[in-house]
């Protein structure tokens, strides 16, 4: 069942993982959701947010989002085609079942817009290639030649994680940098993953003088592991993150990071969906 069109549409907001994944409110989703809320206020439309919490609000929790279907790996939330005119979904979904569910909704005529790459359909995403290129070039310009990389999630190789990893490999080759598989580790975009990944690189004995992380949270975890191991930042190891989140600026030492306009991405998503629902403007396939 789909709702009929209305002058004040209702837009559902979902993500492929729990919003309260850590015990802080500095989630990657926070500025996106803030942008969505602001757009909804300006446009006078309704938004329903699905915010899963996971088993313990720990970074080690498995991905367990709030979702329109009940299952062992997700928690039911009453946000679906029966009470929304369109859905905005943050990728990665970390599940073929969740991806299939959304593609069935799209086939049945429900508008779906994704934030983050990796899913077929209209998408708003960061410029991953340009961001990683800028990070590596910055390090090379400062004389760094052995650069480690903390990738995101191994189940998101068609999405942002894969785009950033593939770009890093290509840019490293273009700059003639050392190719050492020990210097590429998956940090899962969480603090604990970044900390453990940096420890793994250190334990491997691989020489490195810089590190690029696929997001800020894993970068901060890596920085703390490096500091505990006696590596000075940036003298011994220069570190660059990806997102430009607030906690990176106040970390000691401060984290250099690639800026991603998360608030604007959330605002744009609601604005696009609203115009699609009320003015029948098409959703952009990729922006």
Give the per-residue pLDDT at 36. Answer: 97
pTM, to two decimals: 0.89
Q: How confident is the model at residue 20 (pLDDT cuts 50, 70, 90)?
A: confident
Please give the residue that has the higher pLDDT: either 30 or 229.
Answer: 229
CATH architecture of the domain with residue range 128-259: 3-Layer(aba) Sandwich (3.40)
Instruction: Work out the mean pLDDT of the chain and round it to a whole number.
Output: 91
Tell me how far apart the terminal alpha carbons of the chain are, to the nearest angstrom. 30
Please give the residue that has the higher pLDDT: either 47 or 62.
Answer: 47
In terms of Cβ atoms closer than 10 Å to its own Cβ (0-12, 13-18, 19+), residue 10 is middle
| Average pLDDT value for residue range 137-165 | 95
Least confident of 52-66, 82-96, 120-134, 235-249: 52-66
Give the percent of the chain with pLDDT over 70.
93
Q: How confident is the model at residue 244 (pLDDT cuts 50, 70, 90)?
A: confident
Give the per-residue pLDDT at 77. Answer: 95
Residue 23 pLDDT > 50, yes or no?
A: no
- Distance between CA atoms of residues 41 and 194, nearest Å: 36
- Distance between CA atoms of residues 260 and 20, nearest Å: 21
pLDDT tens track for 175-219: 999 889 999 999 988 888 999 999 999 999 999 999 999 999 899
| Average pLDDT value for residue range 133-146 | 97
| Average pLDDT value for residue range 65-85 | 94
**128-259: same fold as 10-125+262-279?**
yes
- Distance between CA atoms of residues 71 and 89, nearest Å: 18
Q: Give the residue carrying structure tokens 């309260």.
A: 20
List beta partners, residue 89. Answer: 14, 114
Q: Which long-range contacts link 279-282 to residues 24+ away (Cβ below 8 Å)?
A: none
Residue (of 175, 147, 169, 151) closest to 239 by Cα position = 147
- Distance between CA atoms of residues 102 and 89, nearest Å: 9
Q: What fold is seen in the domain 10-125+262-279?
A: Rossmann fold (3.40.50)
Domain coordinates in residue numbering, the chain: 10-125+262-279, 128-259
Give the percent of the chain with pLDDT over 90.
76
């Amino acid at each position: 069942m789909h709702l009929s069109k209305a002058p004040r549409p209702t837009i559902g907001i979902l993500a492929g993982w729990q919003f309260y994944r850590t015990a802080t409110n500095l989630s990657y989703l926070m500025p996106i959701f803030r942008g969505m809320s602001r757009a909804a206020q300006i446009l006078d439309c309704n938004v329903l947010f699905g915010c899963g919490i996971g088993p313990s609000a720990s970074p080690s929790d498995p991905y367990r989002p709030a979702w329109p279907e009940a299952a062992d790996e997700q928690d039911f939330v009453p946000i679906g085609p029966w009470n929304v005119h369109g859905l905005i979904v943050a990728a990665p979904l970390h599940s073929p079942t969740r991806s299939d569910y959304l593609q069935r909704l799209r086939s049945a005529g429900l508008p779906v817009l994704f934030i983050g790459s990796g899913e077929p359909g209209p998408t708003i995403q960061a410029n991953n290639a340009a961001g990683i290129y800028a990070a590596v070039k910055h390090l090379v310009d400062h004389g760094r030649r052995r650069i480690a990389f903390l990738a995101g999630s191994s189940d998101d190789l068609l999405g942002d994680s894969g785009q950033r990893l593939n770009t890093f490999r290509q840019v490293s080759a273009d700059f003639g940098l050392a190719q050492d598989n020990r210097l590429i580790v998956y940090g899962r975009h969480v603090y604990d993953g970044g900390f453990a990944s940096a420890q793994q690189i250190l334990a491997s004995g691989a020489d490195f003088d810089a590190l690029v992380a696929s997001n800020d949270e894993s970068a901060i975890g890596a920085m703390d592991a490096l500091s505990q191991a006696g590596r000075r930042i940036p003298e011994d190891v220069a570190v660059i993150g990806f997102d430009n989140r607030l906690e990176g600026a106040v970390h000691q030492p401060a984290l250099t990071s690639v800026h991603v306009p998360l608030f604007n991405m959330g605002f744009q998503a609601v604005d696009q969906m609203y115009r699609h629902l009320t003015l029948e403007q098409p959703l952009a396939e990729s922006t």
